[in-house]
Chains A and B, each alone.
Chain A
Amino acid sequence: MKDFLRVAWIVMRKDFTVEMRSREIVYTTVFFAASCVLVFAFALVREGRPLEDAAAGILWIAIAFAGTLGLGRTFERERHTETLRALMLAPSDRPAIYVGKLLGMLALLAVVEAVLVPMVGLLFHAPFLASPFWMIALLATGTLGFASVGTLFAAMLIRARSRDVLLPVLLYPITIPVIIAGVRGTAALLQATPDEPMARFWTALLVFFDVVFVTLSLWTFEPLMTE
């Protein structure tokens, strides 16, 4: 287990160092997410008054779109240099590579969300800080659910010619429960009086999805990655 976590940490740290050198993925992903929110704001905010209950959906759509872009770019980098093959040759459990890549994606999405949440809050008058604990819990569990499946699919599709098209086509139907739970839980918190029991219910559901998705991903990563 110690070796597993060591390898996952090394892979994540490498991804972080590479990204710090180019800043390519973080800039493009944040810019894309912010653009999505702005487009929604132009469409749905009239005379300073946003459409009621739109904020939760817009936040999670922006996270999903930006996450898909980030996933594609992260694995495109490994594909371009074929370095994923070198990672697969490491003398450790191969799922450790998956966990390392997943941690990198979670860090990226955390940065995206740090920009998105205040932006959506500002443009759509959404009180995200009314119940900060449950808001963070929803974001953390929802992001993990989305990124766990996304990381597996992006790695699996690395050799597919139409990977850019296939990734969202495969990813969105599978992660719809995560997005729905995230939207409903967030919407419950954005009511005039935050509905914390409802947010707790959706968070618990997201934890269940996370356990299922992460377990399945760890289980299937090695066979899916052996050509």
Chain B
Amino acid sequence: MSFDFDRVVVDDVSRHFGRRKALNRINLTCTAGEIVGLLGPNGAGKSTLLSILSTLVAPSAGQVLYGDRTADAGGAALRARLGLLGHDLYLYPELTARENLVFFARLFGLPDTAALVAEALSRANLADRADDAVSGFSRGMRQRLALERALLHQPRLLLLDEPFTGLDDASGQALVARLKGLRDRGGIVIVATHDLDLAEGLLDRLVVLRNGRLLPVAPSSASLRDRYRDTIQSFAAGGPNAATKDAQGGAP
């Protein structure tokens, strides 16, 4: 049952929804101990790529390898090593914060649930609201709780879709520190975000998606915002053919 991996390889992955191409021949490799930023305008395909990486969506073509296994081969053992914080938070509003975490901890078969959940609630600064229904929480509080839900089982691959949404400055900084800690312990973190200020200094590598294609990002010491803007502008100037397979590595 136990399974681990030290890299994720997206190999020529395409995904079509009817006639619409959400992703077009994506190649990307992420290794243990790095935080990869997935940037791009709305509708670029970021969430679709995260859904494919989380095994919830199957690619129309190509494959994703976790170590040497595909999602089908990895099955339940692979899912035990994946954490996903989606744009929707995957929390039950009728349940309390504690009940939500206990439910997911049990679903993942984690030992010592009570202590684990108490620790997670404390990290999310929700210990005093642990027994309140999630329906009464602000977006930021839900976001913090959802992050703890995604991290309960200490995943190797953490996929985050807009993780800074609703977070105040202190919570945003705490999340950045948390993700860096996860990277230092050998995690693979892939973050899709529009919050370039918080992402600055967090990302080890930048990957830009537009219209379902990866864009080549030139190595540069410029700020994240400038690099992102330059990449998008050069794509607009060069047309869709500017996106090539050479984009697969991203840029530091």
Interface residues of A (CB under 8 A from B): 3, 6-7, 10-11, 14, 17-18, 21-22, 81-83, 85-93, 226-227
| Docked complex Cα distance between A3 and B106 (Å) | 11
B192 to chain A minimum Cβ distance, whole angstroms, is 16
Do the beta carbons of A91 and B76 come within 8 Å of each other?
yes
Selected contact of A81 from candidates B91, B109, B149, CB within 8 Å: B91
Known interface pairs A89-B79, A91-B109, A227-B56. Does A21 touch B90 (Cβ–Cβ under 8 Å)?
no
Q: Does B154 contact A (CB under 8 A)?
A: no
Judging by beta carbons under 8 Å apart, are B103 and A10 in contact? Answer: yes
Contact yes or no, B84 A83, CB < 8 A? no
Decide if B93 touches A6 in the complex (CB within 8 Å): no
Per-position 1/0 for B28-66, Cβ under 8 A of A = 000000000000000000000001001111100000000
Determine the distance from Cα of A154 to Cα of B16 in the docked complex, in whole angstroms: 24
Contact A85 B56 (CB under 8 A): yes
B149 surroundings in chain A (CB, below 8 A): 86
Assess A18 versus B90: contact at CB under 8 Å? Given A89-B56, A91-B109, A226-B58: no
Assess whether B115 is interfacial by the CB under 8 Å rule.
Answer: no
Cβ of A90 and Cβ of B90 under 8 Å apart?
Answer: no
User: B177 near A: Cβ within 8 Å?
Assistant: no
Q: Which 7 A-B pairs have the closest CB atoms?
A: A91-B80, A86-B90, A82-B88, A21-B94, A91-B79, A91-B76, A227-B57
Please tell me if B82 contacts chain A, counting CB pairs below 8 Å: yes
Q: Please give, as numbers and ranges, the residues of chain B lying within 8 Å of A11 by CB-CB distance.
A: 107
In the bound complex, CA of A17 to CA of B134 (Å): 14
Chain B binding surface, main DSSP class:
loop
What are the residues of chain B within 8 A of A92 when measuring CB–CB?
76, 107, 109
CA distance A10 to B106 in the complex (A): 7
Known: A21-B94, A85-B84. 13 other contacts (CB 8 A): A7-B107, A10-B103, A10-B107, A11-B107, A14-B92, A14-B95, A17-B95, A18-B95, A83-B91, A86-B149, A87-B107, A89-B56, A90-B108
Binding site for A on B (CB under 8 A): 51, 54-58, 76-80, 82, 84, 86, 88-95, 99, 103-104, 106-109, 133, 149, 153
Q: Is the interface of A mostly helix, strand, loop or mixed?
A: helix
Q: B51, B56, B78, B86 — which one has the most chain A CB atoms within 10 A of its CB?
A: B56
Residues of A within 8 A of B80 (CB): 91
A17 contacts B99, C-beta separation under 8 Å: yes
B94 touches A18 (CB 8 A): yes
**Is B92 a contact partner of A83 (Cβ separation < 8 A)?**
yes
Q: Are B88 and A81 touching (Cβ within 8 A)?
A: yes
In the bound complex, CA of A6 to CA of B105 (Å): 13
Which residues of A have CB within 8 Å of B90?
81-83, 85-86
Query: Is there an interface contact between B107 and A88, defined as CB atoms closer than 8 Å?
Result: no
Least CB distance from B84 to A in Å reads 6
CA distance A93 to B149 in the complex (A): 20
Compute how far the CA of A18 lies from the CA of B92 in the bound complex, rounded to whole angstroms: 8
Provide the bound-state CA to CA distance between A68 and B153, in Å: 36
For this complex, 19 residue pairs linking A to B, each with C-beta atoms less than 8 Å apart, are: A14-B92, A17-B94, A18-B95, A22-B94, A81-B88, A81-B89, A81-B93, A83-B90, A83-B92, A85-B56, A85-B86, A88-B56, A89-B54, A89-B56, A90-B108, A91-B108, A91-B153, A227-B51, A227-B56
Which residues of chain A are near B56, meaning CB under 8 Å?
85, 88-89, 226-227
Question: Once the chains are docked, how many angstroms separate the CA of A89 from the CA of B95?
Answer: 19
A97 and chain B: residue at smallest CB distance: B107
- Cα distance A38–B186 in the bound complex, in angstroms: 64
Q: Are B58 and A86 in contact (CB under 8 A)?
A: no
Q: Provide the residues of chain B in CB contact with A17, threshold 8 Å.
A: 94-95, 99
A104, chain B: closest CB distance, angstroms: 13
- Distance of A32 from chain B, by nearest CB (Å): 21
Residues of B within 8 A of A86 (CB): 84, 90, 104, 149
| B153 / chain A contacts, CB cutoff of 8 Å | 91
Most buried by B among A3, A83, A86, A90: A86
Q: How far is the CA of A83 from the CA of B93 in the complex (A)?
A: 10
Residue of B nearest to A227 (CB): B57
A3 to chain B: which residues have CB within 8 Å?
109
Q: Which residue of B lies closest to A11 (CB)?
A: B107
